[in-house]
Amino acid sequence: MKHIEYVPSGVCSRMISFDLSDDGRIHNLAFLAGCPGNLRAISKLVEGQDAKRVAEILKGNQCGPRPTSCADQLSKALIQAIDENK
């Protein structure tokens, strides 16, 4: 299992951290700052899920007028972690 810390860009959250298991599953997802209720819900929903599938679902999600969101930034963090794990 590999621990990942990712600094998002263009969103309220300042840090995204999670563990990526050897079989590509997400564990212990946490966001520092941002919308607490929504981000805790995302963390619960993706626990144990396949990182590649979650990244595909969340990619491109926007927050209001912003071109990105915490969910979109999570997808970028997951893709980066998957690529580095190859």
What pLDDT is recorded for position 85? Answer: 78
- What local confidence, expressed as pLDDT, does residue 12 receive? 94
Mean pLDDT by 10 residues, the chain (86 residues): 97 97 97 95 98 98 95 98 87
pLDDT at 2 (0 to 100): 95
Whether 43 and 29 have beta carbons less than 8 Å apart is answered as: yes
- pLDDT for the residue numbered 69: 97
Whole-angstrom distance, CA of residue 86 vs CA of residue 39: 28
CATH number at residue 20: 3.90.1010
Q: Structurally, how many domains does the chain consist of?
A: 1
pLDDT score, position 8: 98
| pLDDT value, residue 25 | 98
Q: Could you tell me which residues come within 8 angstroms of residue 67 by beta carbon, excluding any fewer than 6 positions away?
A: 10
Return the ∠ at Cα 74 (arms to 55 and 57), rounded to 5°: 30
Residue range of the domain that includes 21: 2-85
